[in-house]
Amino acid sequence: MPTNRLATARSPYLLQHAHQPVDWWPWGAEALAEAKRRNQPILLSIGYAACHWCHVMAHESFDDPETAALINRFFVPVKVDREERPDIDHLYMQALQAMGEPGGWPLTLFLTPEGRPFWGGTYFPSEPRWGKPAFRQVLLAIARAWEEERGKIEAMGERLAAALASERRAAEASPLSPALVESAAQALLGALDREQGGLAGAPKFPNAPIFRFLALYGRLRPHQAAREGLLTLLDALSRGGIYDHLGGGFARYSVDGEWRVPHFEKMLYDNGELLELLAFGAGLDGTGERAALYAERAAETIAWLEREMTVPLGEGAFAFAAALDADSEGEEGTYYVWRRAEIAAVLGAETEFFARFYEIPEEGNWEEGKIVLRMRRLPETAEERARLGELRARLAAARAERVRPARDGKVLADWNGLAIEGLARAGAVFGRPEWIARGEQVFTAITTHLREADGRLAHAWFAAAVSVRGLLDDQAAMARAGLTLFELTGKRAYLETAEELLGLAERLFAEGEGRYYLTARDAADIPPLGRPRQPLDQATPSGVGMIAESWVRLFHLTGEAAHRRRAEAVLTAELAASRLPSLQPGLLYALLMLEEGGVVRISGEGEPAQALWREAARRAAPGFVLIPPDFTPSASHPAALPGGAEAASLVCRGGRCSLPLTSIAALAAELPA
């Protein structure tokens, strides 16, 4: 079996390619130097461990000796794990899109020896099909062009690099305005699929940052269509094939417009974000049927995280793994799908009862008679729920005998920050303090085992060591998670860590008033395209948006004007200057919370104060910051309360506060529903 340079990598994705005949190099100065020495173009291939089409291209092309020989002869091949190096991925994905190509993975680009892209695409088949040339045809055509028209190629790379640099220059900012939020919200509302949930069209992604903003907008304005947009999405996700009804957890997206058939990979970031959205949705729906459904989905998803996704870091600490693969036994979804006869073999006479609630047609609901479990209707009685739960458990036990999908066991600080946020919010809303405690454990593990010498958090950890230095998103996601844990536990250490991480982000990643880069200023392996900036939200929230939100929350917590000025600087630089603010829901969330959000302040001692605190934790988010009983904000803070043992709460918004509220009913009545 051949072995290449990836054999010593600390990335599960790179290790998947370590025994291919391709002479892979990991990204870095040595690969660029080799390309310059050989005066050959670079073949850059970017993917991730759970990516189905990455596996297909690997099997068809990179495992093939003839294709590998072409690559090794004409190119310097470089592999990148996009989850390890989102900064490199972002730069080159921008380049591909600037060429007029849609993005996606695997990302396949051809670069000059200096690292400037000049042509590319995504997946290329081994034989011509779907209007795409065979990958070997592409390799030979690029090699011939490099030999015969190198000057044109190098000029093309320089023009593209200049165009991308121009895109990153700061635009002139307009003043921040409430109209900015309103116009962006209307654009997002106009893009909703009001029947099936989510955004219109297919494939369908959860788009959690968008619906997080709509949850806040729907509550603070209030706006019924925004609220219904979130609830319709959560209903569809909770019943649809995108949810794993036997094992818990959500897949990355649905290939259709009705959430029927997922792309089966499960990502930590989706599930962390969706835990928070389930909590927000339950808060909007009160104690109705929806809230019960969301609580069940949250519990099942957290059970999946604990059962299948925990990674020991040493000394009893643990965090969460990045992803589960879509494939097993060489096929997508094999672990998850059924045939009617297989279900009947497990459930026997109970099959018809199961079919009253789940879509299991004899002919299947996916390709070749396969069935993706999808709910037809919800059980109505406790007896039905219990009986259905027993049947799901029997199917889950049978499924456990199959070959499991591979797990990408690397630990990413930013994705774990999203999971901590979701655990904490779900724990508060659904009355499960053990979930908050689990978030605390992961927070401590990340801030202990991924801490670099200068205090910043590293990005990735794998096989008992840090593998990639910290990025902006790591500091931002963990700072926001720390603030949430402080609000819900009152432990000052979380607040102090959050403030420290925000200070590090300012020192290492900021450039000018309110502008941030994804990579630190001391990064040594950035391509000639320059340090990337990413103020737009994608499947995950941008670090810039999380930084702005954290400054807003600190302002509401403390009343200190300096925190408001920092938040406004980010919002002015990144949102007011944006051409597409609707693509920045994280920044929109921060702006709306700054101008229209508020605080709930708890004071007093003993169980009465604790009861008020639990109620506030359940009802405050989104939009309201919770000030714990033992924390004293600045004297100028509008939520100043006299000291004393009597339990009381204040609800403040727009600089005005309620009278002291001493009962749970009074507190609940004061907060918006």
- Structure tokens, 113: 């020896």
* Chain centre to alpha carbon of residue 234: 17
Q: φ, ψ for residue 516 (rounded to 5)?
A: -130, 150
- pLDDT tens-digit profile of 282-292? 998 766 889 99
Q: Note the pLDDT of residue 320.
A: 98
What are the DSSP calls for 318-352, one per residue? EEE-SEE-SEETTEETTTT-B-HHHHHHHHGGGHH
641 pLDDT above the threshold of 70: no
CATH code, 471-596: 1.50.10.20
- Structure tokens, 516: 């941030």
169 pLDDT above the threshold of 70: no
- pLDDT tens-digit profile of 49-98? 988 889 999 999 999 999 999 999 999 999 999 999 999 999 899 888 88
Q: Which residues pair with 407 in a beta bridge?
A: 324
With 0-12 / 13-18 / 19 or more C-beta atoms within 10 angstroms meaning exposed / middle / buried, residue 37 is exposed
- Cβ(106)–Cβ(45) below 8 Å: yes
Q: Report CA-CA distances (Å) from 123 to 88, 324, 601.
A: 18, 21, 54
Q: Which residues pair with 25 in a beta bridge?
A: 78
The Cα 570–Cα 547 span in angstroms is 8
What are the DSSP calls for 591-608, one per residue? HHHHHH-EEEEEE--HHH
Share of the chain above pLDDT 70, in %: 97
**3-state helix/strand/coil string of 45-59:** EEECCCCHHHHHHHH
**pLDDT confidence bin for 300, thresholds 50/70/90:** very high
3-state secondary structure of 102: coil
> CA triplet 79, 82, 88: central angle to 5 degrees?
80
The mean pLDDT value for 559-566 works out to: 94
Peptide bond into 21 cis (omega under 30): no
Q: Note the pLDDT of residue 174.
A: 65
- pLDDT tens-digit profile of 592-629? 999 999 999 998 888 999 999 999 999 999 999 999 98
Predicted TM-score of the model (pTM): 0.94
168 pLDDT above the threshold of 70: no
The Cα 590–Cα 551 span in angstroms is 9
The Cα 445–Cα 259 span in angstroms is 35
The mean pLDDT value for 427-452 works out to: 97
Q: Note the pLDDT of residue 643.
A: 59
> With DSSP H G I counted as helix, E B as strand and the rest as coil, what are the percentages for the chain, rounded to 5?
50, 15, 35
637 pLDDT above the threshold of 90: no
**Comparing C-alpha atoms, which of 216, 191, 218, 219 is closest to residue 205?**
191
Q: Note the pLDDT of residue 151.
A: 83
Kind of pairing, strands 262-263 and 323-324? unpaired
33 pLDDT above the threshold of 80: yes
Q: Note the pLDDT of residue 104.
A: 86
The residue type found at 494 is Y
Peptide bond into 113 cis (omega under 30): no
Q: Note the pLDDT of residue 632.
A: 85
- Cβ(100)–Cβ(122) below 8 Å: no
Q: Note the pLDDT of residue 97.
A: 85
**Comparing C-alpha atoms, which of 450, 351, 440, 453 is closest to residue 394?**
351
Share of the chain above pLDDT 90, in %: 75
3-state secondary structure of 132: strand
Task: Give the residue carrying structure tokens 């004293």.
Answer: 632
DSSP single-letter state for residue 170: P
- Which helix (H) or strand (E) segment is 314 a member of? strand 310-314
Q: Which residues make Cβ contacts (< 8 Å) with residue 665, sequence separation at least 6?
A: none
- Which helix (H) or strand (E) segment is 408 a member of? strand 407-408
- pLDDT tens-digit profile of 499-534? 999 999 999 999 888 899 999 999 888 888 888 888
Q: Note the pLDDT of residue 160.
A: 77
173 pLDDT above the threshold of 80: no
Architecture of domain 204-324+407-460: Alpha/alpha barrel (1.50)
The Cα 6–Cα 13 span in angstroms is 10
> H-type helices in 543-597, by residue range?
543-558, 561-571, 585-596
- Cβ(483)–Cβ(495) below 8 Å: yes
Q: Note the pLDDT of residue 464.
A: 85
Q: Note the pLDDT of residue 166.
A: 66
Helical packing angle, 413-429 and 289-308, nearest 10°:
140
Lowest mean pLDDT among 26-30, 151-155, 173-177, 467-471: 173-177
Q: Which CATH number fits domain 5-167: 3.30.360.10, 3.40.30.10, 3.40.50.720, 3.60.20.10?
A: 3.40.30.10
- Cβ(118)–Cβ(108) below 8 Å: no
The Cα 624–Cα 616 span in angstroms is 9
Q: Note the pLDDT of residue 184.
A: 95
